[in-house]
Amino acid sequence: MKRNWVLILIAVMVLGLWLSGCATTETKKRPYIMSQQGTLIWDDEFEFKPPPSGWKIIEVEVGGEFGFGFMRVDSGPFPSQSMFVYDEEPFGCSTQFENREAEFFKRYLWSSAMSLDMQILEKQKVQVLGMEGLAVVAEGKDPVKKEKVKSKVVFGKRGDRVVAFYLTQWRPIDGIYDVSAFEVFDRFWGSFRYLKKSFYETIAQDP
Amino acid sequence: MEGHQRNLSLYEHFNARVVGVSRDDVTTLTYWAKNLDLTFPILSNVTGFLGPYFGVNPSPEIKGYPVFSRRTVIIDKRGIIRYVRDGSPDFKDILLFLKKMNKEGGKP
């Protein structure tokens, strides 16, 4: 009889441990909250209008090419998809937009490695992050893979460093681009604002 | 390397200097640095002799061709290695470490 009680006690303990394990896996904190105004507050640092449903969040924590963004699988054959991101460390070093744009497009989308023939279609000054920025629309075609990509890149400033927002929309070479993704992207960067100073702005100031 | 270039003024603020080390030859590195507008020195370590000084050993994955893995090393003014991290550099982590060292007086 005593042996049965010991077995029951062990079974209850195992069940308790198993359930507590389940509970901990459910509590992963999301990096964002929705404000009462319908904006999304990311990491208590960024605020912006989120895309409509159908867009999935993508994020990279360290060492990636971008910080976070959203993607959507579009209708049509592969590679029909759209993705836009906010990037604190866009390719290049210059703090002047025109120079940075040239540096950026040398490496953007691994142009040379992917045999993408990137052409700048449009370039204009825009108001972004409360000051003047630069918006560039480009298109790349890969005749080998029979794919194409249209992209809009918006360069802005955070402190004295250049940041970028960019959208890429991939299609088969004879596919049609969907302008609605560009409109969602425009609302994203147009509404984007900082809720606090950046790491780079504060690290040299702190005691 | 572009990330280091973007942070040069902050490195200077914390009394640090950055030097790149690569297995590529001088001609390749000259072209590469010019292409990326890098202004800090890059050492051509063609024979790989510098690797062991920083604990960087040839990758065992490709036999007969000594490919070295990526590593960030911070050396203080006395020549002591104070920071070692493998993989892509974490610039925020590097800057926080330099700031701490600078405050301690152990200028890199």
Residues B32-71, buried b or exposed e (16+ Cβ, 10 A)?
ebeebebeeebebbeeeeebeeeebebeeeeeeeeebeeb
CB contact under 8 A, A63 and B87: yes
Q: Shortest Cα distance from A207 to chain B (angstroms)?
A: 9
CB contact under 8 A, B96 and A62: no
**Do B71 and B56 contact (CB within 8 A), yes or no?**
yes
In a domain, A121, yes or no: yes
pLDDT digits (tens, 9 = 90+) for B65-91: 656 678 899 999 899 999 999 888 999
Domain ranges of chain B: 2-69+87-99
In a domain, A23, yes or no: no
pLDDT digits (tens, 9 = 90+) for A20-40: 444 444 456 778 899 999 999
pLDDT digits (tens, 9 = 90+) for A79-131: 999 999 999 989 999 999 999 999 998 888 875 556 788 899 999 999 999 99
Closest CA relative to residue B70, chosen from B40, B97, B90:
B90
Q: What 3 state SS string does A94-112 have? A: CCCHHHHHHHHHHHHHHCC
Ranges of residues in chain B with a pLDDT under 50 are none
Residue A202 contacts B where some CB pair is shorter than 8 Å: no
CB contact under 8 A, A93 and B88: no
Residue A150 has pLDDT above 80, yes or no: yes
Domain encompassing residue A119: 52-195
Residue B61 contacts A where some CB pair is shorter than 8 Å: no
Q: Which of A61, A65, A91, A93 to mutate to test the interface with B (most CBs of B within 10 A)?
A: A93
User: Looking at the predicted complex, does its ipTM rise above 0.95?
Assistant: no
Region B2-69+87-99: CATH code? 3.40.30.10
Residue A17 has pLDDT above 50, yes or no: no
Q: Shortest Cα distance from A55 to chain B (angstroms)?
A: 29
Query: Which residues fall within 8 angstroms of residue A132, CB to CB, at 6 or more apart?
Result: A125, A126
pLDDT digits (tens, 9 = 90+) for A40-60: 999 899 999 999 999 999 887
In a domain, A106, yes or no: yes
Q: Give the CA angle between residues A146, A148, A150 to the nearest 5°.
A: 175
Check residue A66 and give its pLDDT: 63
